[in-house]
């Protein structure tokens, strides 16, 4: 592996070396590095297929789970920028972050989306919401915002990622201070 690497290349390099080695464990489920790399690539392709531009922002409002990790590596693999949002934040705080950094894609859970729905209209750049699983009932989203489930999104067609170089913005981190 070269001395410096892009964030998403770390997963690919580990998958080449140890494809069957455990990479993530969440409850009784595990993903090995080969599976993680494949999921990161599928998520990246899905973002490009959605039209995420180079350096487009992907907000991730989830607790620690597989989708959080996959989205965090997949956004930069697509040429985008991941924006982790602390799962303890209130809806208004999440909306502030999404508006402040122009989040175009939001990855969250149905439960968290139910809390956010009333404030999403304040996020003019938001175009896509990706839910970790199908919602019990369809959420009310602002006009022009499309809803996808994680599984359906990752099953979509492949698309080549934007060119990514070592000086590209990878993440935007908001602190509590």
- Evaluate if pTM is beyond 0.75: yes
pLDDT profile of the chain (177 residues), mean per 10: 67 90 93 95 94 95 96 95 95 97 97 94 97 91 95 84 70 84
Exposure string of 68-80, with b = 16+ CB inside 10 Å and e = fewer, is bbbbbbbbbbbbb
pLDDT at 167: 61
Residue that is written with structure tokens 């989830």 in the block: 62
What's the Cα-to-Cα distance from 174 to each of 14, 78, 95, rounded to whole Å?
28, 21, 13
Do 29 and 65 contact (CB within 8 A), yes or no?
no
């Amino acid at each position: 592996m070269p001395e410096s690497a892009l964030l998403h290349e770390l997963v690919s390099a580990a998958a080449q070396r140890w494809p069957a080695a455990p990479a993530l464990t969440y409850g009784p489920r595990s993903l090995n590095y080969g599976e993680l790399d494949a999921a990161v690539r599928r998520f990246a392709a899905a973002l490009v297929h959605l039209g995420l531009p180079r350096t487009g922002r992907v907000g991730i409002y989830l607790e620690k789970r597989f989708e959080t990790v996959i989205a965090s590596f997949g956004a930069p693999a697509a040429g985008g920028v991941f924006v982790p949002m602390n799962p303890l934040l209130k809806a208004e705080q999440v909306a502030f972050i999404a508006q402040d950094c122009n989040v175009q894609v939001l990855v969250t859970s149905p439960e968290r989306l139910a809390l956010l729905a009333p404030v999403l209209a304040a996020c003019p750049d938001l175009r896509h919401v990706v839910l970790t699983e199908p919602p019990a009932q369809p959420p009310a989203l602002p006009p022009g915002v499309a809803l996808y489930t994680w599984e359906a999104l990752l099953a979509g067609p492949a698309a080549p990622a934007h060119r990514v170089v070592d000086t590209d913005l990878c993440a935007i981190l908001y602190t509590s201070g």
